[in-house]
Amino acid sequence: MNYSAKVMDHFTNPRNVGEIENASGIGEVGNAKCGDIMKVYLKVENNIVADAKFKTFGCGSAIASSSMATELIKGKSIDDAWKLTNVAVAEALDGLPAIKMHCSVLAEEAIHLAINDYRKKAGLEEFEYKGKDGHGEINEK
Ligand code: FES
């Protein structure tokens, strides 16, 4: 399987690994088929993603996807962070092999859950998220 240089870079040197204490929102997803789990932590200030971190127990593509996805949402408004799709994550990584696209779906889903967790805690209405058919299973955190 051929991975882009960017995937290899974000896999071997992932950005934003770790947890955020007293996070504004947390999202955790798992994929039932491969068993991989991803957890995303957000710190939100003035409706902006001030910080984002992740813990991924999964394959290299899942680690690279969570690294890139957290980089892409940092500094963005919650509304813009919500719009991040798995396809945009994969494109920012210069592509993922077809059978590894579900790894980027985990990143999209974990971010959506973390945003809604934040909104719930802040007393805001949760955004509607339908998820991706047949992919990541949304777990309770
Ligand atoms: Fe399942 Fe990568 S193989 S997340």
This prediction has a pTM of 0.92
Task: Look up 34 and say whether it is catalytic.
Answer: yes
Nearest residue (by CA) to ligand 1, atom 4, is 103
Question: 5 CA distance to ligand 1 centroid (A)?
Answer: 18
3-state secondary structure of 57: strand
What is the per-residue pLDDT across 97-122, written as a single tens digit (0 to 9) for each?
Answer: 999 999 999 999 999 999 999 999 99
Active-site hit among 23, 29, 38, 103: 103
Q: How confident is the model at residue 124 (pLDDT cuts 50, 70, 90)?
A: very high
Q: Which of 6, 9, 15, 34 is catalytic?
A: 34
Are the CB atoms for 94 and 7 separated by under 8 Å? Answer: yes
Within 13 Å, how many C-alpha atoms sit on residue 98's CB side? 0
pLDDT digits (tens, 9 = 90+) for 39-70: 999 999 999 999 999 999 999 999 999 999 99
